[in-house]
Amino acid sequence: MATTKTRLEYEVSQDATDRLGETWAVAAVNHAGDGEIYVATFDGPDAKERAEEYAAFKNGQ
């Protein structure tokens, strides 16, 4: 039986609960599956840049 791999779109967002603005998240939701949510968080110096780099990598860019 063949399986198809669902392509997820990873998006960068700032953690709304972080008052210092140093925590960023990269998230993707598997809408075609059971609604699984995949999240990676980045904190500290250059967190936004590291999150953007990770999202670009996961999106194949």
**According to the model, what pLDDT value does residue 19 have?**
78
pLDDT at residue 40 in the model: 95
pLDDT in tens, 7-55: 899 999 998 777 777 899 999 998 888 889 999 999 988 999 999 999 9
Q: Please classify residue 50 by burial: count the beta carbons closer than 10 Å to its beta carbon, then call 0-12 exposed, 13-18 middle and 19+ buried.
A: middle
- Residue extents of the structural domains in the chain: 11-58
For the chain, the first-to-last Cα distance in angstroms comes to 30
